[in-house]
């Protein structure tokens, strides 16, 4: 059996290898992979333990959300349409503190190991960079790479040489321009709801975010998995 060094079968990328274990997440029908959601959940359980420790687990109440997110990543167009998800947009994953937003955004790209992954960067770290080196930071994240900005909304207002700047708001506007011109995706996780996002970044940014993102949310009563 021919495999790539990155742990998947080159002839059928839904077959993933973790050490000596093989996980077949779907079946190949010509050039189309038919994925099995239960097999995806089983793999996420295993990969989550490998990445985050033996206490990792998925929760039954999150399975509908997992189905939505998995459908997005594997580009199951029928399910994406069912859930009102546009696979050509990015993801804005919202939910309470500790519900598992960042964990899922780290985990789910492993379902498609043959695709290039985005870089996950805490929004607060970007603002720290702006405070140190200024507007070059905004230019740096306005490029054609794919990013996931983690914990959008918890960052402070940037300040460089005494001038304040809503750093993430400016970056999101630049990312919107890249999306419209070249289809470059941006993803975010946030604890904020739509109203709080508008209060934090303004209508100018919020209106662009409607085009830039699919809004996918955990249940507001989702438990804190870190407890």
The 10s digit of each residue's pLDDT in 132-168 is 999 999 999 999 999 999 999 999 999 999 999 999 9
Would you give the end-to-end CA distance of the chain in angstroms?
43
- Which residues, other chains included, contact 195 with Cβ-Cβ below 8 Å and sequence gap of 6+? none
Residues 105-134 pLDDT 10s: 999 999 999 999 999 999 999 999 999 999
Domains of the chain are: 54-217 (3.40.50.300)
DSSP letter for 155, please. Answer: S
Average pLDDT score, the chain: 92
SS3 assignment for 61-109: HHHHHHHHHHHHHHCCHHHHHHHCCCCCCEEEEECCCCCCHHHHHHHHH
Please give the pLDDT value at position 219.
85
Of 182, 193, 132, 139, residue with least CA distance to 161: 132
Please give the pLDDT value at position 4.
43
């Amino acid at each position: 059996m021919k495999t790539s060094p990155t742990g998947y079968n080159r002839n059928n990328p839904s077959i993933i290898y973790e050490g000596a274990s093989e996980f077949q997440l779907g079946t190949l029908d010509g050039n189309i992979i038919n994925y099995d959601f239960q097999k995806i959940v089983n793999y996420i359980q295993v990969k989550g333990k490998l990445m985050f420790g033996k206490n990792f687990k998925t929760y039954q109440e999150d399975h509908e959300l997992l189905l939505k997110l998995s459908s997005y990543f594997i580009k199951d167009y029928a399910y994406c349409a069912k859930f009102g998800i546009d696979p050509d947009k990015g993801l804005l994953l919202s939910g309470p503190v500790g519900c598992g937003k960042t964990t899922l955004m780290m985990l789910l790209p492993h379902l498609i190991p043959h695709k290039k992954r985005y870089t996950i960067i805490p929004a607060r770290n970007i603002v720290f960079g702006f405070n140190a080196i200024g507007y070059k930071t905004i230019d740096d994240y306005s490029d054609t790479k794919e990013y996931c900005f983690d914990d959008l909304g918890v960052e402070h207002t940037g300040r460089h040489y005494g001038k304040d700047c809503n750093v993430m708001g400016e970056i999101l506007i630049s990312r919107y321009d890249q999306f419209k011109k070249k289809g470059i995706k941006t993803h975010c996780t946030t604890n904020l709801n739509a109203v709080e996002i508008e209060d934090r970044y303004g209508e100018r940014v919020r209106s662009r975010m409607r085009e830039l993102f699919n809004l996918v949310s955990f249940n507001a009563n989702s438990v804190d998995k870190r407890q």
